[in-house]
A = this chain, B = another copy of it.
Amino acid sequence: MAEHFKQDSVTAVAVRIDAEHPHGVVFDPHQPQLRVTDLGAVRGDGVFETMYALQGHVRKVDAHLQRLRRSSTITEIGIPPEESWRAAVELGLEEFRVRGQLPEHLSIRLTATRGVDGEPASDDPQFAGTYWALFTQVSETMLENRAKPISVTLLDRGYDAGAAERAPWLLLSAKTLSYAVNMSALRWAKNHGFDDVIFTTSDGQILEAPTSTVLVLKKEADGPRLITPVLETGILPGTSQGAIFAAAEEAGWKLGYGPLTPEDLYDADHVWLCSSIRLATPVARIGDHELAVDEGYTAQLISFLEQDKPVNHPV
């Protein structure tokens, strides 16, 4: 048991932020840390971000912290200032170094919950909830699967394209902990022989995948064009898509924003799902429609991510 923990302790580190530790304090993620009355655990009432650190360099920190702030504003959950999160991330990386081994590939998940109902952790609303960063070594399986072509199924997300603007209480563009539907859609896909899902609106627009952003490439006469769905449908502004767009634009590629339909995907030259940890995963099949896969373009997108350009979403 001690042996087991010792092994795990190198692959997982956690840092809590609270009013007494505004720059974070290390804790053991294998020990209970949350009360059963925490609204994160009882109502999925929190927000999060998942970042990728390669050899200790955390990618797109600004974009992730900006989106975390945006999610916290939409959900009215107070969160610590940026410097707290940055310090917590540094503390977690340092903890790995102190233990003698900083993994080459780390997932860093920042989570903020509304805390315990009726018992704010602090009078300061920036520290009233529950906050932590969880550092996990990216598994070998994930690394091996990254660039492997996948099959996806289109699943109706139930909302029409106007729901996000019409009904802000649906929190459609916040990255909340209420992810049961995202997980359910992935189970549905796997039970039906697919690797992943692309959500559509009930009126037939392409949205996003449960944990990634859809990216389309069209080869045009004067070069490649990258296209991603419009944000107005309430999808999350993708940090990886944004970083790819920033670097692609500098490389002279053209950019475009949907609305996209399933036909646009079938007619595309290539489609990827982009996320911080998986990077750019080529889609080889959507339902019954085969799609071409191009290793060169996939490598190009991944190299765009390596440039870690500032993300600037058109909203």
Residue of B30, B43, B166, B167 touching A183 (CB-CB under 8 A): B43
Total copies of this chain within the assembly: 2
Nearest CB of B to A186, in Å: 9
- Interface range on chain A (Cβ under 8 Å from partner): 35 or more
Q: Are A33 and B36 in contact (CB under 8 A)?
A: yes
Q: Are A44 and B180 in contact (CB under 8 A)?
A: yes
- State whether the Cβ of A132 lies closer than 8 Å to any Cβ in chain B: yes
Q: Are A45 and B183 in contact (CB under 8 A)?
A: yes
Residue of B34, B45, B109 touching A33 (CB-CB under 8 A): B34
Complex Cα gap A13–B107 (Å): 36
Q: Are B29 and A36 in contact (CB under 8 A)?
A: yes
Q: Are B35 and A31 in contact (CB under 8 A)?
A: yes
Complex Cα gap A75–B44 (Å): 15
Q: Are B178 and A167 in contact (CB under 8 A)?
A: no
Q: Are B29 and A134 in contact (CB under 8 A)?
A: no
Q: Are B169 and A42 in contact (CB under 8 A)?
A: no
Nearest CB of B to A50, in Å: 10
- State whether the Cβ of A111 lies closer than 8 Å to any Cβ in chain B: yes
Residue of B37, B156, B188 touching A166 (CB-CB under 8 A): B156
Q: Are B45 and A180 in contact (CB under 8 A)?
A: yes
- Interface stretch (choices A52-60, A157-165, A266-274): A157-165
Q: Are B43 and A177 in contact (CB under 8 A)?
A: yes
Query: Which residues of A pack against B, CB within 8 Å?
Result: 12, 14, 29-46, 48, 75-76, 109, 111, 113, 132, 134, 155-160, 163, 166-172, 174, 176-185, 187-188, 202
